[in-house]
Structure 1
């Protein structure tokens, strides 16, 4: 561990030992006492040796299994997986107009993600539909995800009752024994910064650990409001919350698959809001990745995050900054990697398509150079000498798609007569979206399983008829 990271680590251990973390859950507090952790009221104080002992029990890599095995993923090491937006209640259209998200939007994003080769994970709270009841909203979304996609599953928020329903649904689809031995769903567990974990979050942790399902411990400290104004202080605080969460997860069940999540950034001190599209966010992403790798724990961070209010120049440059840093740091799971606007507050179909272009460009950049024999072209250059004509060469025809990235929406060459750049770009974006939706093919789900799921959800008074 280099000196910078060591200083953050030591500061985090000091925070955990002297300030402690509040856990609003009697069962968790009782368990911590039994494990030898000092507890005073609702606050637990972890010694450095306790933290360092328990986080070593977390697996360095783990798999998540899709209904269709071709989408199975491995999290950890040098692999990177992408997931789309998460949690937004608003849709912003191409003109910047805002409306409440609907369940139809959720279904459309399920289809777009299912069609996109960048994603092996689908579902979660892609948008927060306003036209379904807030009670048990995520189980309705999970039912839709199971019906419309066969990729790995992203989980949703909720307390013990909702998580039990989710696990019952997965029992029906996969069987309890299979579920216990092959992780199927990821849950994002957000600490309440500074230094607190609420009951719903801890209920989810207990149940997911019992089933062996992976959890992502993710603080979102904002420098200047919920954390110190210094980015180093915010990182120390965030790291303390993550280490506490990972420690508790391993105390509940040794070997529980966990991810080190980092959503921290700076606050915009002019408004008090979050600053997602900022250099400070990128710094947090980078240092989170480096700390996670030192601990030997899979890492979640980054995305095409931005603070823009519409598809715009701002949304492009802020998104590229964050996703490029996340990919360069070999982040294992990048959520919010397509579609988000307005500091995670909104989703946009147009931004989703633009972000696919960004992902394609970044992936090509990180492929780097192929310097194998023949790639340097010495013989070819000699054969052409001082003249042009490489475009006619057989190697050009064979390798052009491998060596050069071909954009699908970026404007190249001359514009059609009478077209404006803005309208032509929007036309290409919309054409790509419609093409993807038209090509969508619904994966098969056993009619018997579908019937059992519907009957179970009906017994819980959860809506399923809204599906088309």
Structure 2
């Protein structure tokens, strides 16, 4: 395919690749045993995180008030453009904003007043009620990578993503214990026509997983298809009264919302479904080079976009989102894992809490081309900041590579291992009687050891997180087992999981109704690849 396909992403695609299919091999017995020992094997699901840790905050009252005041000044004096959407402009004019052409200027306090109807926390329902998640409060929900047009497959080939890759990542996400959410465009299947692939993608989330999922936003009619399919899956009355899908609405920073994002936002808000209003920021290009300047712009854009959803339908769930990165001032390339975007995430989380909105930011982000040390360091830096900030919805939690251009199978497995560690970390310190371990201290006494004491024997299986990927054995054992790298172990684990995958049950009549809807919608329009 010669065209660069449109993608549902925090970042547009810009490179070419070639298609293929992810290979599978025989199940890796050692990897499977390691997964079983670690508690991270397929099907051993974890509920979403209820954080027991204090929040890390970087701004005091004076700094927060300063940024909020500056954002109000931006909204009032500079304004935000709502492009090619007469209805949006009419809604703002009716609400009391000043509309000059396509630019909207907001009286101080208008957006905050409108946001009083937005919930501070809400439940996104999954078709399996045990998989439903809370978004907001002290909850954290991990979701996988979103949007890459390329994959790095299990044969080490970088190529355009296909629908089989999409289904594979949905299956791996379903099996991953610490991924609480199926996500959305886990990769962009370019072997399916642009105007029809959303049907296959949404169906894959519904059929191959029973976790909550995201909808299509690349055109209003595709958002409408998502809502229609959700009504088939959940029932029309249930969808009318509950959030069953969440959706990424990006601001076209700086200070623009375009007709595509506005159209999708209106569809979902009118249907009572959740939206994540996310300025996409590469600081130095799409926002000022400073942390405070970037936070000011982020807050202004979110205030305008989130308040707009309340004009469409008061009470519609909306999330304060930010995707913040910096750029190399030498090359212009995006950079990840650096200090400044972490500070933006911390500050934005504080601003979201003051607004009373759930918060979304990044996950395991990296500019590296393969799952190497750069990928590990950059992903750890962004993920740690994401968790410590108190993020409620974490997009790009697993599989992100090459600045968001690639979904990588190996890195996906490595990342979900780290997400399991973060989930354990978020439990905080156990101060129960068992956690205090006074019986163990009394039993062992001075000069002995704890290996054989009663408390250790009762707790050793769950006392410490055991990685699915890391090799902590001796050099001799590692050498005898083939000197495998972390990437090789991740590759073997991905293959074994895909081989072991079993689809969650789905009512046969519901499945037939979904497939019939998809067939009729596809038949109603010719294929389009642009």
User: Shorter-chain TM-score: which interval?
Assistant: over 0.9
Relative distance call for 1:130 and 1:383 in structure 2 (3 A) is same
Relative distance call for 1:378 and 1:161 in structure 2 (3 A) is closer
Instruction: Indicate whether 1:446 and 2:470 are aligned.
Output: no
Cα distance in 2 for residues equivalent to 1:212 and 1:44? 25
Matches within 5 A, 1:178-257: 178-257=238-317
Aligned to 1:357: 417
Q: CA deviation at 1:123?
A: 4.3
Query: Do the aligned partners of 1:275 and 1:281 also contact (CA within 8 Å) in 2?
Result: no
SS of 2:484 mapped into structure 1:
helix
Cα distance in 1 for residues equivalent to 2:517 and 2:241? 23
Q: 429, 434, 442: which is aligned to 2:495?
A: 434
Total equivalences in the alignment: 463
Q: Which has the higher contact order (CA 8 A, sep 6+)?
A: 2
Q: CA deviation at 1:239?
A: 1.0
Query: Over residues 130-167 of structure 1, what are the superposed CA-to-partner deviations in whole Å (9 max), with x where a residue is unaligned?
Result: 21111132121111221111111112332122112222
Aligned to 2:119: 59
Q: 101, 106, 118: which is aligned to 2:166?
A: 106
Matches within 5 A, 1:5-16: 5-16=64-75
Query: Over residues 168-224 of structure 1, what are the superposed CA-to-partner deviations in whole Å (9 max), with x where a residue is unaligned?
Result: 222222222211101111110001011110111111111111110000000012211
Matches within 5 A, 1:29-48: 29-48=89-108
Query: Over residues 256-294 of structure 1, what are the superposed CA-to-partner deviations in whole Å (9 max), with x where a residue is unaligned?
Result: 100000102212222222223322221121111111111
Query: Over residues 379-424 of structure 1, what are the superposed CA-to-partner deviations in whole Å (9 max), with x where a residue is unaligned?
Result: 4334323333311122112212333111121111214364598624
Q: 410, 416, 421: which is aligned to 2:470?
A: 410
Query: Do the aligned partners of 1:5 and 1:291 also contact (CA within 8 Å) in 2?
Result: yes
Relative distance call for 1:392 and 1:219 in structure 2 (3 A) is same
Cα distance in 2 for residues equivalent to 1:171 and 1:238? 34
Q: CA deviation at 1:438?
A: 3.0
Cα distance in 1 for residues equivalent to 2:523 and 2:448? 67
Cα distance in 1 for residues equivalent to 2:522 and 2:434? 65
Q: CA deviation at 1:366?
A: 2.9
Cα distance in 2 for residues equivalent to 1:444 and 1:96? 33
Cα distance in 2 for residues equivalent to 1:332 and 1:194? 25
Note the residue ranges of structure 1 that are not aligned, 5 or more in a row.
464-468
Query: Over residues 445-465 of structure 1, what are the superposed CA-to-partner deviations in whole Å (9 max), with x where a residue is unaligned?
Result: 2222222222222222269xx
Matches within 5 A, 1:236-385: 236-385=296-445
Relative distance call for 1:342 and 1:47 in structure 2 (3 A) is same
Query: Do the aligned partners of 2:112 and 2:355 also contact (CA within 8 Å) in 1?
Result: no
SS of 1:17 mapped into structure 2:
helix
Query: Do the aligned partners of 1:95 and 1:310 also contact (CA within 8 Å) in 2?
Result: no
Aligned to 1:17: 76
- RMSD across aligned C-alpha pairs, in angstroms? 1.9
Query: Do the aligned partners of 2:440 and 2:455 also contact (CA within 8 Å) in 1?
Result: no
Query: Over residues 283-336 of structure 1, what are the superposed CA-to-partner deviations in whole Å (9 max), with x where a residue is unaligned?
Result: 121111111111110001120111111010111111111111111122100010
Note the residue ranges of structure 2 that are not aligned, 5 or more in a row.
1-59, 525-530
Instruction: Indicate whether 1:457 and 2:518 are aligned.
Output: yes
Cα distance in 2 for residues equivalent to 1:86 and 1:422? 33
Query: Do the aligned partners of 1:66 and 1:184 also contact (CA within 8 Å) in 2?
Result: yes
Query: Do the aligned partners of 1:123 and 1:142 also contact (CA within 8 Å) in 2?
Result: no
SS of 1:307 mapped into structure 2:
coil
After superposing the two structures, state which structure 1 stretch, 132-141 or 301-310, moved more: 132-141
Aligned to 1:466: none
Relative distance call for 1:420 and 1:440 in structure 2 (3 A) is closer
Query: Do the aligned partners of 2:371 and 2:487 also contact (CA within 8 Å) in 1?
Result: no
Query: Do the aligned partners of 1:238 and 1:264 also contact (CA within 8 Å) in 2?
Result: no
Q: TM-score, normalised by structure 1?
A: 0.94
Q: 377, 388, 397: which is aligned to 2:457?
A: 397
Cα distance in 1 for residues equivalent to 2:478 and 2:253? 55
